[in-house]
Structure 1
């Protein structure tokens, strides 16, 4: 019997959530760019940029950070060490914030992730086609070798019919039964 105990259950605080537009030098971040939220040098969350440089939305997916964290939140491209946005959040307090992010000029000047993914997909498709062609050639060669072996074997036996199948028992049939056995049994 337990007397006089009470348990206090603490609920975790809701996260601080962010959404907005990511840009560099007035140019929106390319679709597919990854925005990473970092606190104490540790990745808290990441989100992919959609069209027009938008990351997250007021009614949809957001970039979330633990609101109990006692640290400034910084925003980076691709990794915790990637280019950092000018904007930070010094005091995440369990709210939803529209926060447009400005990254250093030139951050998005290289090939966009979409172009990189397309190049990688093309390379993968090309490799797949090459592999398929190689397998077809190998199968064709195996079939040719098998037919050559069959021809050699049937030529060696001296018993072959027109389609290259061996007459194993020399009685003019391939099943090993003579025609006389078939007639004798009435089949």
Structure 2
């Protein structure tokens, strides 16, 4: 597999076209470019060109030109869409209740006043709960292979390990483990954002607040 560098604007465009969690960038580009359909057309052209009939030999040129135009059109469409402001797509794909948004409630200055990663982690979760109080219980389904990450009580988390260091999410009835490293906390925030309906682009922004 080859690696290519893309700018932030193009990355945000690709991420905003994700149809489901886990869809790779390669799959997204294949879908946007109609890559599989164009490949199928090209294969059909090559098979036809191999036949000895001279009347048929002229047909692949038309088919090939048609396939080339389709590919060029798909590329042009991606380029035009990539030039559109990414913010419009983010606003449309972000799920919020009422008029408030997680990014309206929290800022880097406020995060800087917190005591370490744990303080920032709890503040971000508290603001997500504030924006999504009705949907927040969905985080209870986020868990590891053999441990709970979230629970409605401290005892439930302690039963899964005495060193989990559970803490209550401020202004909520939910508890979360805090003994994980910063990378794991970022993954947990990404999962929370997804279950609350945020786009992949906004989920990444929420994760980077930590």
Q: Give the number of the structure whose residues are more often helix, by fraction.
A: 2
Q: Give the number of the structure whose residues are more often strand, by fraction.
A: 1
Q: Same fold (TM over 0.5)?
A: no
TM-score by length of 2: 0.18
TM-score by length of 1: 0.20
Choose 1 or 2 for highest CA Rg: 1
